Chains A and B, each alone.
Chain A
Amino acid sequence: MYTLETINANLFYGEKQALKDISIGIEHNTVTAFIGPSGCGKSTFLRCFNRMNDLIDNTRIEGSYLLDGIDIYGKEAEVYDLRKKVGMVFQKPNPFPKSIFENVVYGLKINGITDKNILEEKAETSLKNSALWEEVKDNLHKSALSLSGGQQQRLCIARTLAVEPTVVLMDEPASALDPISTAKIEDLIYELKTKFTIVIVTHNMQQAARVSDKTAFFYLGELVEYDETKKIFTNPEKERTQNYVTGRFG
């Protein structure tokens, strides 16, 4: 069984169809990269998996979207539980204007956990998982906004990991960062895949090639090709994929 799966997924913004008939299966504890030119629907598709598109007016979906075989848009489904299982890291680092500690434990607190020992323990684990612990352990009560952009993004990852999701969605997590911070995030993704299933949207072809096991190429709302990353970048089936990964368009 796939961790994430869609069957004939369509999505409409009003009249406009943004996703066309997408079927994909994403395996447990792998890194999958979504690539494609701007506006191809890859971010929209990513946001379907934790129902962030629900927040946008006039969106309508069709088809099946499954997490561990269970329909996430079904009648029994609870969106708040879903988002705890399927965490998200956004393009621009978006820490809350609170302390580093308060940021990491936010997800735990909204789940009603108030025991100080548990919160401290989980904060430490998550910060270690996101490779930020050594840099902030003496300053946990300083404002998160005093961190650098790269540190802020790793804090956002720590915040997402703290609620122990099974899937982590990353929407261009390094596009606003400098090369050194980007390298740190990429190393982190590589380590995290032992514990989490990761889906990452990226505009950076090298990044997709470096971090992912499988790659999906989207174009104009359609899934053009989905295969092992190595195959997509060296010997894709479709000409359009070939043209995109070699930089001839996009």
Chain B
Amino acid sequence: MTPYLTKIKSRDKAFRIVALCFTIFALSILLVLLVDIFWRGFGRLNWSFFANLPSRKPENSGILTAIAGMMSLLFFTIILALPIGILAGVYLQEYGHKSWYAKLVEINIANLAGVPSVIYGILGLQLFVRMAEMGNSLLAGAFTLALLILPIIIVSTREAIKAVPKTLREASYGMGATKWQTTRRVVIPSALGGILTGIILSISRAIGETAPLLVIGALVYVPFIPEGPNDQFTTLPIQVFNWVSRPQAGFIINAAAGIIILLLITFLLNGIAIYIRNKWYKKMRY
């Protein structure tokens, strides 16, 4: 072995060890946080924690209203964001992708995806809560979150459609199909896996959002389950936010338990997204 080869080989090894150290460092911080949360909160996870309404006493408090509020909020958010996001993505990629205005829209959407979520909250407060006079309602929250996740849905729809090979489009056009027939029968079905993955990831983003909802006035204490789109609401992250700001030790335990639930939901959604993506790519193999 030449001295030079020895040198570059030892460098290779050194780099690997350094990279490994930093990976372990990052993961161990996460691990410490997780262990701490589970240590504090795991014992609090029982049926009454899920079934109880919020209360002044930590041991009687539950997350029923938070879960119900979060589910209804997500329901309305998805109804609002899904059709707009998918259609906008299809339009930008399939129809307008060469025009200057589509490029302008594209740049703006990429920027929007990076805007801090609290800004969406302020926009939602002015636009939906005040101007549209929705008040601190579920609907105002859903509109605000829909705005927040629209860029994610649009971008992932575009990416999924872009990944459909040109040869499939050619096959369809070559048989006399119109653009719409090709888009509907070939492009969108082939891209559905990618589109679904994007939707699920955007939902898991929406679940974790707290700031914009606080700005538009989602309440930290709601003693009832929302019954319609005009009701006031709370969500799990807001409930957790509320509990950690309380002085009593019991509420800190509640917060930890709430975080465990939140983590599990996010974990589950991301897992489903990865599962769909892998399954779809295996099926497509184009």
In the bound complex, do residue A88 and residue B174 qualify as a contact, i.e. CB atoms below 8 Å apart? yes
In the bound complex, do residue A97 and residue B283 qualify as a contact, i.e. CB atoms below 8 Å apart? yes
In the bound complex, do residue A52 and residue B175 qualify as a contact, i.e. CB atoms below 8 Å apart? no
Q: Does B181 contact A (CB under 8 A)?
A: yes
Please measure, in the bound complex, the distance between the C-alpha atom of A98 and the C-alpha atom of B185, giving whole angstroms: 10
For A80, what are the chain B residues with a Cβ–Cβ distance below 8 Å?
176-178
Q: How far is the CB of B60 from chain A (nearest CB, A)?
A: 54
For B168, what are the chain A residues with a Cβ–Cβ distance below 8 Å?
94, 96-97
Q: Does B13 contact A (CB under 8 A)?
A: no
Q: Does B173 contact A (CB under 8 A)?
A: yes
Query: Per-residue 0/1 for A95-124: is the Cβ within 8 Å of any B Cβ (1 yes, 0 no)?
Result: 111100000001101110000000000000
In the bound complex, do residue A163 and residue B167 qualify as a contact, i.e. CB atoms below 8 Å apart? no
Given A94-B168, A97-B284 in contact, is the A87-B186 Cβ separation under 8 Å?
Answer: no
Q: Which of B167, B168, B172, B176 has the most CB of A within 10 A?
A: B176
B173 nearest in chain A by CB position: A55
Please measure, in the bound complex, the distance between the C-alpha atom of A119 and the C-alpha atom of B178, giving whole angstroms: 20
Q: Does A187 contact B (CB under 8 A)?
A: no
Please measure, in the bound complex, the distance between the C-alpha atom of A84 and the C-alpha atom of B175, giving whole angstroms: 5
Q: Does A203 contact B (CB under 8 A)?
A: no
Please measure, in the bound complex, the distance between the C-alpha atom of A98 and the C-alpha atom of B188, giving whole angstroms: 13
Partner of A87 from B175, B178, B190 at Cβ < 8 Å:
B175
In the bound complex, do residue B171 and residue A96 qualify as a contact, i.e. CB atoms below 8 Å apart? yes
For B286, what are the chain A residues with a Cβ–Cβ distance below 8 Å?
97, 145
In the bound complex, do residue B175 and residue A106 qualify as a contact, i.e. CB atoms below 8 Å apart? yes
Please measure, in the bound complex, the distance between the C-alpha atom of A110 and the C-alpha atom of B183, giving whole angstroms: 12
Count A-side interface residues using an 8 Å CB cutoff.
Answer: 29
Q: How far is the CB of A77 from chain B (nearest CB, A)?
A: 13
For A81, what are the chain B residues with a Cβ–Cβ distance below 8 Å?
176
Say what secondary structure dominates the interface of chain B: helix
Please measure, in the bound complex, the distance between the C-alpha atom of A110 and the C-alpha atom of B181, giving whole angstroms: 7
In the bound complex, do residue A90 and residue B176 qualify as a contact, i.e. CB atoms below 8 Å apart? no
Q: Does A156 contact B (CB under 8 A)?
A: yes
In the bound complex, do residue B189 and residue A52 qualify as a contact, i.e. CB atoms below 8 Å apart? no
Query: Per-residue 0/1 for B250-286: is the Cβ within 8 Å of any A Cβ (1 yes, 0 no)?
Result: 0000000000000000000000000000000001111
Please measure, in the bound complex, the distance between the C-alpha atom of A180 and the C-alpha atom of B5, giving whole angstroms: 48
Q: Does A83 contact B (CB under 8 A)?
A: yes
Q: Does A143 contact B (CB under 8 A)?
A: yes
A109 nearest in chain B by CB position: B185
Q: Does B227 contact A (CB under 8 A)?
A: no
Q: Which of A52, A94, A143, A145 has the most CB of B within 10 A?
A: A94
Please measure, in the bound complex, the distance between the C-alpha atom of A156 and the C-alpha atom of B173, giving whole angstroms: 13
In the bound complex, do residue B175 and residue A110 qualify as a contact, i.e. CB atoms below 8 Å apart? yes
Given A97-B189, A97-B286, A145-B286 in contact, is the A156-B175 Cβ separation under 8 Å?
Answer: no
Partner of A106 from B172, B283, B284, B285 at Cβ < 8 Å:
B172
List residues of B whose CB falls within 8 A of some A CB: 98, 165, 167-168, 170-178, 181, 185-186, 189-190, 283-286
List residues of A whose CB falls within 8 A of some B CB: 50, 52, 55, 57, 80-84, 87-88, 90, 92, 94-98, 106-107, 109-111, 143, 145, 156, 159-160, 163
**Can you name 13 A-B residue pairings with CB atoms under 8 Å?**
A81-B176, A84-B176, A90-B174, A94-B170, A106-B185, A110-B176, A110-B178, A111-B176, A143-B283, A145-B283, A145-B284, A145-B286, A160-B175
